[in-house]
Amino acid sequence: MLVSTKWLNEYVNIKGIKPEDLAERITRSGIEVDSIIDRSHGMTNVVVGYVKECVKHPEADKLNICQVDVGEETTQIICGAPNVAQGQKVIVARPGAVLPGGMKIKKAKLRGEESNGMICSLQELGIEGKLVAKAYAEGIYVLPQDTIPGENALPLLGLDDTVLEFDLTPNRSDALSMLGVAYEVGAILSQGIALPKIEYKESEEKAEDVLKLRVDATTDNPMYVAKVVKNIKVAESPLWLQNYLMAAGVRPHNNVVDITNYVLMEYGQPLHAFDYDRLETGEIVVRHAEEGEMITTLDDVERKLNQHNLVITNGSEPVAIAGVMGGANSEVHDGTTTVVIESAYFAPSSVRRTSKEVGLRSDASTRFEKGVDPNRVQEAAERAAQLMAELAGGEVLSGSVTFDELDKTAERITISPDYINNRLGMKISMDDMLAILERLRIPTEAVNGQLVIDAPTRRQDLKIKEDIIEEIARMYGYDEIPKTLPVSESTPGGLTPYQAKRRIVRQYLEGAGLYQAITYSLTSKEHAQEYALETAPVTQLLMPMSEDRSTLRQSLIPHLLEATTYNVARRIDSVALYETGSVFLGEEEDGLPREVEHVAAVLTGKWVDHAWQGETKKVDFFVAKGIVEGMMERLGLAEGLSFEKASITGMHPGRTANILLKGERIGLIGQIHPTEQKKRDLKETYVMELNLEHILSVDTEELLYSPVPRFPSISRDIALVVESETSAGILETIIRQAGGKLLKDVKLFDLYEGENVENGKKSLAFSLTYFDPERTLTDEEVVKAHEKVLKALTVEADAQLRG
Amino acid sequence: MEQQLQLLKEEALKKIQDASTVKELNDVRVAYLGKKGPITDLLKGMGKLPAEERPKMGALVNVVREAVTESLETRMTLLEEEAINVQLEKEAIDVTLPGRPIQTGNHHPLTRVVEEIEDFFISMGYEIAEGPEVEKDYYNFEALNLPKGHPARDMQDSFYISEEVLLRTHTSPVQARTMEAKGGEAIKIICPGKVYRRDNDDATHSHQFTQIEGLVVGENIKMSDLKGTLDLFAKKMFGAEREIRLRPSFFPFTEPSVEMDISCFKCGGDGCNVCKKTGWIEILGAGMVHPNVLRMAGYDPSAVTGFAFGMGPERIAMLKYGVEDIRHFYTNDIRFISQFHRSEA
Ligand SMILES: [Zn+2]
């Protein structure tokens, strides 16, 4: 909402208050003023000129040499506008003027002819092109003949004005009108306001004698008022009216249309003017459209309607989409003489739906959508009739043609001062409360210590006690509210075990060298299921903004890879990122997809980078695996963790494993398939993804200390040769099973394939630690246990022992 | 014999002084004090002396032996020290060479901000509540006093999955769910999480972003409690000198509703580019829980009241760290994330 302070001053006296101060007070008490626009842009030396003579420039087709009376002198100005002509009153920027946008006007020569200033268009004075009346959109602006050469043009054009731009919250639709703003500012300044006086002469002829009205859709249109004005002379509006409209962001058209727009801005009640003769039938019928019915709207677009769109018809065909836009067939034009003024209450939901469907939002529809004041529908029609009589020479037929089933009663709210004070934590006296409500012009009576309030219908946002609390608080001032803390039984607060463990996972991964990433949950349908741990239907948006963000992800890996590509492309060769976040699986009975929190990581490039001491190491499978093992160990889940070779789409077939916890698959780990790597411009890249929710929800044993060993342990090494396919994991399992309870630890310390080892075989060496917490082991005991291990390896793994 | 002894002593002391390495000196020790050395020989020869001279000679030999031993030890200490010095000199390194890096990552800046906020409210006795990102229209809108067709729904154009299911547009549905689950009990929670709106991504908009909302419900919760809580929060997050101010605003789920500004932490309120010359920076929205919201969750608005607040970690991170473009939070450029490595007390 654009509020001209010049216009506002007609209703509430704000002279002498700096716009900045006014804006600040309005903002602090409830409506945010987004910006303050000085319409003069600091211009000077812009005056009225009279074009005494206008001839073509001999050297240039498109230029005119004008002799212009600018009051103190007649001076020559070259003008290139196509519409300049002798006898016009025009706007002249004299030498020394600085126009908005920084153009400085100087004396100049144009093709050999002197030019002492510039004849201006409105655009050149800082008015947006879309607000300039069509007649002047392509050229200079022509002033009314009664202006005086030399006169300052800025006040004439209403440019000696400051406009406040309101950022209105949806509840304050009352401030979508100048009168609403006047009420608010009046309350803030503790001042009275001057409402428009509506007086005009009615003719003897009755409106209802020339116009019939029928409303068929009474729910969507509970009130319809039509007035008829005859003998209208359609012309340009007076300058002051055009100026106000332009300040409010509305383009002037002609006096009839401008008056409806003016009243819309003044009262917040949208009006429409029909050409009575073009209606043809002398009848208005409000009904729902028929499916597929067509209308060509004022913007010359043909629109197809459906059954819930409310339309105004002439009894046979639509002449307007109710509350949204008029039809071209009944539009007021230069030759119009009789006008029907429509002022109605259209149900907000109906207008909102229709406006959305036909894709039209107008000053009218935005007001109807929020609910106009039921008590202004009639008054706004009267106001328009008055202005048409005053400004368009119209003759207003007596009375209105009305349909009215609209509830116009005020909401009664009864509230005690204690209730207000208890909710605010303040001690405002009843008298102060009454004074505030009085300033807001909210009719209130004090009855038995209670405030009995009849909330005015112009304030649709006042419905319940809390709304009144807000009115009191905002006018009293939020600065006056003390600072206290909730008094309640003290709660310990804190993280749930799950949340605490999630933080541990993050800290662990960061300690291990990974940076935390946060990627988007939405991806393309094509990529949504890549690397997913579970097979489930995808969850898609009804109306995505793009195909790339149309579907919810089922794995964190694709976007982490995308982030890796992004970094690698910027010459960051080593990337280590992790993310914790939800994946979205199919549709559950409850109607919502199952959201499972996962943790994933991506690694590429160097893992250790300390070249000058010869320590550099590329990321490999075992770096990634070590991170998983360390994380699980930190969570107390090392036992029961295992890895089994796996074949997964998009992964390297020989370097990928499923991660299992107590035999259940909880994740995947491995290298990205080289073809995928190439597609993504990546080198050797490893990823892992685990079901975090599963991991963090496992109950772990309580941490208990076990005594620090008092007796020495004994180590024995085993070197053996096995078939290449025999996995180290199997060997370790055999060793552990055979070793019995004395065997405390098994560690692989050598792995060799190649020279000196038979083809198809490999050599491994393990170090075994034997230990008994109760006593020192004897050699015989260790030998006995160790021999069992050796035998088991020979029998179960066909291992040849070496050395 | 006395003379012989004296000569021996002088000879030994000279050799001690001449020894230039520990090894040479050890040779001298063996030569003079060893079992086959001249002093031992002398002591062995004492038996030939008359009995009355023996004590005197014995004492004399001991004196010489002690003198030699003492000189040896002194010399030994010196030579050992020299040897160590030589060794140490050999071992010297260039201490300006780079150390072996301990490579660690760090929190994403948003997590850093979120955890800081979480920790503050935990210290105030709050719990952290979480909920689904794909939410029912009921919890996202209706339970929050935004019935179908409510004009304020325009404020948050949403990603719908179906008529009744959408990506949550704020974390408030977690509040509605928590209230419903608590069935009338007092509540003190904050709800952090990802939210989604139908916005084109640009410097100030992101279709996915994070939010933290707070909710306190109980008997006698007042607007002044909200103000006191937010004041402490502002001082914790933005510095002890911060002042707050509340401005009236509108949210469908609170009444009255306010926006909270803090005095600018850059200029202290004088006006600068961070606060757009106003001295104040808008940080969050808040208000008293709307009675309809309480009622819908099964609370009796005449018996209990509550306050709620909501803020955007992106905005806070942008303000705190001077980040100019919200997209930085989602490109995951390591050169960006790694700037938040250092800890701040
Ligand atoms: Zn500042």
Residues B271 and B329 in one domain: yes
Domain containing residue A372: CATH number: 3.50.40.10
More confident of the two residues A128 and B268:
A128
Is A481 a member of any domain? no
Is A286 a member of any domain? yes
Residues A21 and A133 in one domain: no
Answer whether residue B277 shows pLDDT above 90.
no
Average pLDDT over residues B130-155: 86
From B205's Cα to the closest Cα of chain A, the distance in A is 14
Residues 549-578 of A with CB under 8 A from B: 549, 552, 563, 566-567, 570, 572, 575-578
Is A492 a member of any domain? no
The model's confidence at residue A88, banded by pLDDT at 50, 70 and 90, is very high
Asked if B332 lies within 8 A of A615 by C-beta distance, the reply is no
Average pLDDT over residues B293-307: 94
Average pLDDT over all residues of chain A: 94
Peptide bond just before B256 cis, omega within 30 deg: yes
% of chain A surpassing 90 pLDDT: 87
Domain containing residue A456: CATH number: 3.30.56.10
- Per residue in A520-578, pLDDT (tens digit) is 999 999 999 999 999 999 999 999 999 999 999 999 999 999 999 999 999 999 999 99
How many Cβ contacts (< 8 angstroms) between chains A and B? 244
- Per residue in A596-640, pLDDT (tens digit) is 999 999 999 999 999 999 999 999 999 999 999 999 999 999 988
pLDDT of residue B138: 95
Q: Which of B100, B124, B165 sits opposite A493 (nearest CB)?
A: B124
> Hey, which bits of chain B come out as E strands?
127-128, 134-136, 160-162, 165-167, 187-196, 208-218, 244-251, 254-263, 280-289, 305-311
- Per residue in A73-87, pLDDT (tens digit) is 999 999 989 999 999
Return the minimum-mean-pLDDT range out of A47-56, A148-157, B41-50, B134-143.
Answer: B41-50
More confident of the two residues A773 and B129:
B129
Residues in chain B within 8 Å Cβ distance of A474: 248, 256
- Per residue in B157-168, pLDDT (tens digit) is 899 998 899 999
Residues B130 and B181 in one domain: yes
pLDDT of residue A730: 92
User: Count of domains in chain B?
Assistant: 2
C-alpha closest to that of B124 among B258, B232, B285, B261: B232
Q: Which of B91, B126, B158 is the last residue of a domain?
A: B91
- Per residue in A429-482, pLDDT (tens digit) is 999 999 999 999 999 999 999 999 999 999 999 999 999 999 999 999 999 999
Domain containing residue B305: CATH number: 3.30.930.10
Distances in Å between the Cα of A636 and the Cα atoms of A21, A598, A699, A701 are: 63, 18, 9, 8
User: Count of domains in chain A?
Assistant: 6
Is B181 a member of any domain? yes
Answer whether residue B226 shows pLDDT above 60.
yes
Residues B139 and B37 in one domain: no
Residues A152 and A208 in one domain: no
pLDDT of residue A589: 67
Residues B115 and B255 in one domain: yes
Q: Is the ipTM of this complex over 0.85?
A: yes
- Per residue in A191-237, pLDDT (tens digit) is 999 999 999 999 999 999 999 999 999 999 999 999 999 999 999 99
- Per residue in A253-271, pLDDT (tens digit) is 999 999 999 999 999 999 9
Is A707 a member of any domain? no
Domain containing residue A114: CATH number: 2.40.50.140
C-alpha closest to that of A168 among A396, A367, A336: A367
Q: Which of A28, A425, A510 sits opposite B223 (nearest CB)?
A: A425
Count other Cβ atoms within 10 Å, centred on residue A500.
Answer: 11
Residues 383-442 of A with CB under 8 A from B: 422-426
The model's confidence at residue A390, banded by pLDDT at 50, 70 and 90, is very high
Q: How far is the CA of A730 from the centre of ligand 1 (A)?
A: 66
Q: Which pTM value belongs to this model?
A: 0.86
Is A319 a member of any domain? yes
User: What are the helix (H) ranges across A345-464?
Assistant: 348-358, 363-370, 377-391, 417-424, 430-439
Q: How far is the CA of B277 from the centre of ligand 1 (A)?
A: 6
Is A209 a member of any domain? yes
Which domain does A310 fall in, by range? 202-404
The model's confidence at residue B155, banded by pLDDT at 50, 70 and 90, is low
Is B100 a member of any domain? no
Residues B160 and B294 in one domain: yes
Residues 152-191 of A with CB under 8 A from B: 169-172
Asked if B149 lies within 8 A of A352 by C-beta distance, the reply is yes
Residues A360 and A212 in one domain: yes
The DSSP H or E segment spanning A271 is: strand A271-275
pLDDT of residue B19: 87
Is B240 a member of any domain? yes
Q: Is A509 on the interface with B (CB under 8 A)?
A: yes
Which domain does B135 fall in, by range? 109-340
Residues A225 and A139 in one domain: no
pLDDT of residue B95: 93
The model's confidence at residue B43, banded by pLDDT at 50, 70 and 90, is confident
Is B98 a member of any domain? no
Burial (CB count <10 Å: 0-12, 13-18, 19+), residue B88 = exposed
Asked if A464 lies within 8 A of B255 by C-beta distance, the reply is yes
Answer whether residue B156 shows pLDDT above 60.
no
Residues A357 and A329 in one domain: yes
pLDDT of residue A357: 87
Structure tokens at A786: 């160790």
Is A489 a member of any domain? no
Which residue type sits at A200? Answer: Y
Whole-number Å distance between alpha carbons of B251 and A13:
32
Residues 6+ apart with CB under 8 A from A356: none
β pairing state of B134-136 and A714-723: unpaired
Q: Which of A464, A514, A541 sits opposite B161 (nearest CB)?
A: A541
Residues A173 and A226 in one domain: no
The model's confidence at residue A803, banded by pLDDT at 50, 70 and 90, is low
Residues A176 and A254 in one domain: no
Residues A514 and A582 in one domain: yes
